[in-house]
Amino acid sequence: MQNGDDKTKLIYYTPDNVNGLLKTMNACKSYRLCFDDLNSVDIINKSALNTPLTKAIYPGYISDLSALKRSERYFEIGPELKINELLKKGATVLPPILLRALTECGNPNVRNILSIGGLICAPKIRNSVFAALSILNAKVEIASYTTASLRFMVPIQQLFKEEGLALLPGEMIIKIRIPYEEYDVDYYNEIQDKGTVITFVGTASTFKSSISICKFAIGNWGDEIIRETEIESGLIEQKLPIPEKIIEGWKEKFTDLFTEKYTFFSPYVQKALTNMFTEFLSRL
């Protein structure tokens, strides 16, 4: 195959399943993974390269990498599934809070080329979809071409460490898994501050006029998702509707977080997030 305008020959493989992909990557370490957007990355260190592409592995024919599947207990999303396609396929089955977050991922043209796997692996972006997946207890399945038989699940909030993406050389995400649960309340809101988008997401379930599940997260352009499980646990079994006095008490505890832990937020953001938290509680 001719490689574009230069006349070098392009040698490529097109495996049709994940095991085949991992075996090919292991046997052809000098090759580069090539994707639908024509970008390619080095197999060993994941870096993008600008040199002419002469040896490639194309995973686009692996249906599992771009599929949405549902079992009795889980939703499973292939990392190569484009955002717009995921919105179409999951319109009636995915959790509403995730659907709302997905619609906030740029304009339709961006969502046509952006994959869910590329989105969650993007450095320095922990808002919107990442926050929603966090409160939905999503996990990612990771495999390595060096040990194709070894696969393991990692909570999505552990996908990044201080130094960046936690994937080791040769590792790749092959699946995003979301436990199936039904929620009665979903809350999504966001603000912008100095060009940064900060997201507040929340979801809850009720049983016999009490809160049975309550989860919320703050996502931003930093390195982590903010979760306050102590507040979440404290709201479990709270009778509904929540009296105004009790909401004020939780609002005070939430506000204290900005002086104790999250001092990097501006006063404007602190006030906005506090209002979002209060509004979330009032909807329960």
Contact yes or no for 124/215 (Cβ under 8 A) = no
Give the mean model confidence (pLDDT) for residues 176-188. Answer: 96
Prediction pTM value: 0.88
Report helix angle 244-260 to 267-282, nearest 10: 150
Largest CA distance in the chain: 74
d(CA 278, CA 23): 51
d(CA 2, CA 123): 34
Indicate the pLDDT class of residue 2, thresholds 50, 70 and 90.
very low
Residues 100 and 117 in one domain: yes
Indicate the pLDDT class of residue 32, thresholds 50, 70 and 90.
confident
Residue in 178, 225, 229, 235 with CA at minimum distance from that of residue 199: 225
Of 128, 154, 179, the residue at which a domain comes to its end is 179
Residues 271 and 208 in one domain: yes
Domain housing 48: 11-57
The model's pLDDT over 113-159, given as tens digits with 9 standing for 90+, comes to 889 998 888 766 666 899 999 999 999 999 988 876 678 999 998 88
Residues 160 and 226 in one domain: no
What's the pLDDT score for residue 4?
A: 44
Residues 164 and 223 in one domain: no
What's the pLDDT score for residue 261?
A: 92
**Is the model more confident about 225 or about 115?**
115
The model's pLDDT over 84-117, given as tens digits with 9 standing for 90+, comes to 999 999 999 999 999 999 998 888 998 998 899 9
Give the mean model confidence (pLDDT) for residues 16-35. Answer: 87
Residues 189 and 231 in one domain: yes
Residues 121 and 67 in one domain: yes
Number of structural domains the chain divides into: 3
**Is the model more confident about 160 or about 63?**
63
In the predicted model, is pLDDT for residue 6 greater than 60?
A: no
In the predicted model, is pLDDT for residue 7 greater than 60?
A: no
In the predicted model, is pLDDT for residue 211 greater than 90?
A: yes
Percent of all residues in the chain with a pLDDT value above 90, rounded to a whole number: 61
The model's pLDDT over 230-275, given as tens digits with 9 standing for 90+, comes to 999 999 999 999 999 999 999 999 999 999 999 989 999 999 999 9
Q: Three-state secondary structure along 211-222?
A: EEEEEEEEECCC
Give the mean model confidence (pLDDT) for residues 3-8. Answer: 47
Of 163, 179, 195, the residue at which a domain comes to its end is 179
Indicate the pLDDT class of residue 43, thresholds 50, 70 and 90.
low
Residue in 176, 168, 5 with CA at minimum distance from that of residue 98: 176
> Within a domain: residue 5?
no
Residues 117 and 200 in one domain: no
Residues 103 and 160 in one domain: yes
3-class DSSP state for residue 38? coil
Hunting for tokens 């080791």 — which residue is that? 168
In the predicted model, is pLDDT for residue 1 greater than 50?
A: no
* Sheet with strand 171-179: strands edge to edge: 68-70, 74-77, 171-179, 139-144, 147-155
